[in-house]
Amino acid sequence: MNYRETYQPHLYPDERGRYGAFGGKFVPESLMAALADLEAAYEEARSDDEFQSELQAQLASFVGRPTTLHQVPRFSQMVAPDIKVYLKREDLAHTGAHKINNALGQGLLAKRMGKRRIIAETGAGQHGVATATVCAMLGLECIVYMGEEDIGRQSLNVFRMKLLGAEVRAVTSGSRTLKDAINEAIRDWVTHVETTFYLIGSAVGPHPYPRIVRDFQSVIGSETREQILLKEGRLPDMVVACVGGGSNAIGMFYPFAEFPDVQLIGVEAGGSSLEPGRHAATLVAGRPGVLHGAFSYLLQNEDGQILTTHSISAGLDYPGVGPEHSYLKETGRATYVSANDACALRGLQALCQSEGIIPALEPAHALGYLLELGEQGKIPPGSLIVLNLSGRGDKDMLTVAKALHVTLEE
């Protein structure tokens, strides 16, 4: 199927919640009114000076924005000679990842709508932690759905959520990962739609969620654009980000999308191989279909059944992707590639040892990809590159130690 057309960033989504052919609302009738209410409330909040002032004040004093744009010269030399790599340091945001930007925005929106019960899904746990953090600050009830598999590999974040007052509900169905956590959160929302606000963590789901998440996360790219112009006097040649559901990447890409000379590269999880069930490279190896309320690229078999996924990083272990990324792919505005588990581990170790920064496994995929791209001689001399370091690696240390066959002393 071919949906290729000229990319027009400021026109999307349209009034139907579509990015070209992608997006829309594929949900039970019982949720249509709730989505309409959410869209109306969000449109009002966007033009409400009081809401925007509170959001900006909390982004500054609570989240710690703006985050820094940090040059990494030793890592740059590892990639290729005569280039510059900058990291957008979302790992320095409160709670250690970009997820807090969206959680804060939606939390304030829920409060504005009078919804005191918040539900969320989480994979790596960072969105769960961010949601629990915002709910504690705003005095809201918080329930987080998390796959049993992810609970096992992200036990530290589970404890953080509970310490912040959230109830963590283990999901034991299906692959027991992010996809199944979303399924359970949607079931909860259908049952308690009058009192509950579903705080979606990535740029996925039915309209208006992909747009809302993109808008709250676009602070990343907007800051980056201003910062790189101040530091270098020009825009970057390449902007790189990891892609699972796609919130950190779309937040970085969107403010650069109107500049055709800026190359946008999304790096998906290549897992152990690109064989079905062994990766989570949706845009690289998937095809369009409907999942979790939207039409987008999916990993599915010939019968349309969703495939199991694998990634060393829980935050990228998802068989779908946000509809705007599908649109960016089909229009050719962005390029999507994959990096396998070994590549991610290499990227993580390289940044640790060259720059004293421990990244999360999710952006480590983008770091590893850059190293491979440099080795292939595909980065021209003089290139200016910005990579979104979407989170810090504390949560992943047990996983990394196990993968590197390191035994930690009790």
Summarised one tens digit per residue, pLDDT across range 356-366 is: 999 999 999 99
In the chain, how many domains are there?
1
Asked if residue 371 belongs to a domain, the reply is yes
Structure tokens that stand for 400 in this block: 């990394």
Asked if residue 333 belongs to a domain, the reply is yes
Asked if residue 348 belongs to a domain, the reply is yes
Q: Is the pLDDT of residue 3 over 50?
A: no
Q: What CA–CA distances, in Å, run from 114 to 37, 40, 135?
A: 12, 14, 13
* Segment 328-340 mean pLDDT: 97
pLDDT, averaged across the chain:
95
Owning domain of residue 351: 64-96+218-403
Structure tokens that stand for 340 in this block: 């396998």
* H/E run at residue 178: helix 178-191
Nearest to 308, CA basis, from 341, 342, 335, 272:
272
Structure tokens that stand for 329 in this block: 């792919």
Q: Is the pLDDT of residue 124 over 60?
A: yes
Tens-digit pLDDT profile for residues 300-317: 999 999 999 999 998 898
Asked if residue 142 belongs to a domain, the reply is no
* Segment 185-189 mean pLDDT: 93
Angle at 128 between CA 180 and CA 174, to 5 degrees: 10
Structure tokens that stand for 361 in this block: 């496994």
d(CA 369, CA 364): 8
Q: Is the pLDDT of residue 5 over 60?
A: no
Between 7 and 107, the more confident residue is 107
Which CATH number characterizes residue 68's domain?
Answer: 3.40.50.1100
Q: Is the pLDDT of residue 1 over 50?
A: no
Contact indicator for 158, 314 with CB cutoff of 8 Å = no
* Segment 387-399 mean pLDDT: 95
Asked if residue 114 belongs to a domain, the reply is no
Return the biggest CA–CA distance within the chain.
58
Can you tell me whether residue 69 is helix, strand or coil? strand
- Strands 384-389 and 238-242, sheet pairing: parallel
Structure tokens that stand for 397 in this block: 């240390």
d(CA 103, CA 170): 21
Contact indicator for 153, 159 with CB cutoff of 8 Å = no
Q: How confident is the model at residue 6 (pLDDT cuts 50, 70, 90)?
A: low
Instruction: Please tell me what DSSP assigns to residue 111.
Output: H
Q: What CA–CA distances, in Å, run from 409 to 57, 348, 401, 404, 405?
A: 43, 22, 11, 15, 13
Strand partners for 117: 141, 196
Q: Is the pLDDT of residue 129 over 50?
A: yes
Asked if residue 248 belongs to a domain, the reply is yes
Q: Is the pLDDT of residue 408 over 90?
A: no
Q: Is the dihedral of CA 274, 276, 282, 285 positive or negative?
A: positive
Asked if residue 49 belongs to a domain, the reply is no
SS (H, E, C) 317-379: CCCECCHHHHHHHHHCCEEEEEEEHHHHHHHHHHHHHHHCCCECHHHHHHHHHHHHHHHCCCC
Q: Is the pLDDT of residue 409 over 80?
A: no
pLDDT given at position 336: 98
Tens-digit pLDDT profile for residues 270-301: 999 999 999 999 999 999 999 999 999 999 99
Tens-digit pLDDT profile for residues 17-71: 999 999 999 999 999 999 999 999 999 999 999 999 999 999 999 999 999 999 9
Q: Is the pLDDT of residue 4 over 60?
A: no
pLDDT given at position 312: 95
Q: Is the pLDDT of residue 410 over 60?
A: no
pLDDT given at position 38: 97
> What's the CA dihedral at 349, 329, 289, 305 to 10 degrees?
-30
* Segment 365-389 mean pLDDT: 98
Q: Is the pLDDT of residue 2 over 50?
A: no
Active site residues: 99, 121, 390
- pTM of this prediction exceeds 0.75: yes
DSSP 135-147: HHHHT-EEEEEEE
* Segment 75-96 mean pLDDT: 98
